[in-house]
Amino acid sequence: MVSVFWFRRDLRLYDNTALNKALESGYKVLPIFIFDQNIIDELPADDPRISFIYDTLFKINKELNQYGSSLKIIKGDPIKVWKELISEFEIEHVFWNKDYEPYAVSRDNQIKQLLSTKGIKFSDFKDQVIFEENDILKADGKPYTIFTPYKNKCLQKLNQLSIKVDVQVNFELFYSSIFPFPALSDIGFKKSQIKVKDFCLDHLEQYAAKRDYPFDDVTSYLSPHLRFGTVSIRKIFNELKTSDEVFQSELIWREFFMQILFHFPDVLNENFKRKYDGIRWRNNESDFKLWCLGKTGYPLVDAGMRQLNQTGYMHNRVRMITASFLVKHLLIDWRWGEAYFAQKLLDYELSSNNGNWQWAAGTGCDAAPYFRIFNPIEQLKKFDKDLRYVKKWIPEFGTTKYPEPIVEHKFARERALKTYKEGIRA
């Protein structure tokens, strides 16, 4: 008899809630990872996120090998994979950490049903968040839809919490066997040239003051690691100081958007505020292509898009400016921008991507008012006045090769205001 632990968005051996519970189950633990065809079949062959997952799994497997164990890695449809596992192993109990995205919830419910019909126990645990979907609710038991009161309730609860980080792993309790580790090509992918950077929290004392200046780059590069769980959120919260409140607030935004997506799954394809459904987007395909390529003639927008295309990262302030430009200046549906970011961002997180795009469009739960329209020229003067960020990403800037603006700011602003006013339903 074995217990099975299913790695998903928790790619680490240490301070892994469900893994620790599996190791306490009284049975040897078989660790598995499934490359889910329902997700990966839509990705390009050199997707950098797959390369990152693969490299991380390789490191985990190498550590397990030192103790005579290994990861069992399978590519396929999860339901079919689980049916094969059940026929191959005598499974007593299955453990995994919860995922709150609509597809994952549906998939996990199907697998729970399958395990139940086979008489196999299963347990799932909170791991990728400090507060999950029903931990922070209003007095009436309903979810928060405004960030500030949600954040205040989180901070209140955090002050009462003792966050435990468990770094002990008893490797003797893993199932003994050495499974073949597949090549990346066996999964249908090849190595990406784009790399996920190591995260660093050493300069958080500068974060609040400098976080809006893209060239200074005081960002932590933490987000892909939280997305794939190579570090535990508990460890991060435990390392923060009182003075890191601005950074902590960003982490709370992540959890806020997760619970919004869980409670309001329609936001995947619909405006959170349905009164905006009447907006008539222009959706000009040539304008969209120029935005994607970073050739709009607005330097801060273009630098951001080129950084994204070349590295999979984009500075947070610049994300807001590029998103606002697409939906307000070009009047292109936020869903187009959301989908493009989903393809390119190394830290792509469905809930945050959706929440932030709806924020930029003014259609979200806690959105910027529709009449707040970033002026990309003024934003450039304010946050990159010496053009260091722009020149880093736009080598032809200042030459005749750099294009003129595709739309004039004042005209675009007035057009956006008119379109929004006409489209809002009472």
**Mind listing the pLDDT tens digit of every residue in the chain (426 residues)?**
999 999 999 999 999 999 999 999 999 999 999 999 999 999 999 999 999 999 999 999 999 999 999 999 999 999 999 999 999 999 999 999 999 999 999 999 999 999 999 999 999 999 999 999 999 999 999 999 999 999 999 999 999 998 999 989 999 999 999 999 999 999 999 999 999 999 999 989 999 999 999 999 999 999 999 999 999 999 999 999 999 999 999 999 999 999 999 999 999 999 999 999 999 999 999 999 999 999 999 999 999 999 999 999 999 999 999 999 999 999 999 999 999 999 999 999 999 999 999 999 999 998 778 888 999 999 999 999 999 999 999 999 999 999 999 999 999 999 999 999 999 986
336 is catalytic: no
User: What tokens appear for 251 in the block?
Assistant: 């982490």
Whether residue 137 contacts residue 28, with contact meaning beta carbons closer than 8 Å, is answered with: no
SS3 of residue 375 by DSSP: coil
393 is catalytic: no
User: What tokens appear for 291 in the block?
Assistant: 């935005």
357 is catalytic: yes
Distances (CA, A) of 426 to 117, 205, 281, 421: 50, 45, 19, 10
Q: Which residues pair with 19 in a beta bridge?
A: none
Give long-range contacts, CB 8 A cutoff, 24+ apart: 396-405. Answer: 397/299, 402/297, 403/290, 403/295, 403/296, 403/297, 404/297, 405/296, 405/297, 405/298
**28-36, strands of its sheet edge to edge:** 72-76, 28-36, 2-7, 91-97, 121-125
Which residue of the set 63, 92, 250, 270 is catalytic? 250
88 is catalytic: no
User: What tokens appear for 232 in the block?
Assistant: 């535990």
Q: Which CATH architecture has domain 268-423?
A: Orthogonal Bundle (1.10)
Which residue of the set 253, 336, 359, 393 is catalytic? 253
Q: Does domain 1-127 have CATH number 3.10.20.30?
A: no
pLDDT confidence of residue 369: 83
Single-letter amino acid code for the residue at 381: K
Domain 268-423 in the same topology as domain 1-127 = no
pTM comes to 0.96
Single-letter amino acid code for the residue at 81: V
Q: Which helix (H) or strand (E) holds 62?
A: helix 48-65
316 is catalytic: yes
The answer for residues whose C-beta is within 8 angstroms of residue 120's C-beta and 6 or more apart is: 86, 91, 92, 93, 94
Which residue of the set 6, 336, 357, 393 is catalytic? 357
Exposure b/e, 127-149, CB count within 10 A at least 16 = b: bbbbbbbeebbeeeeebbbebee
Spatial distance between the Cα atoms of 328 and 336, rounded to a whole number of angstroms = 13
Whether residue 50 contacts residue 189, with contact meaning beta carbons closer than 8 Å, is answered with: yes
The distance from CA 75 to its chain's CA centroid, rounded to whole angstroms, is 22
Domain positions in the chain are 1-127, 268-423
pLDDT confidence of residue 41: 94
Angle at 366 between CA 379 and CA 312, to 5 degrees: 55
Which residue of the set 281, 284, 309, 375 is catalytic? 281
Which residue of the set 6, 82, 96, 334 is catalytic? 334
How many CB atoms within 10 Å of residue 268? 15
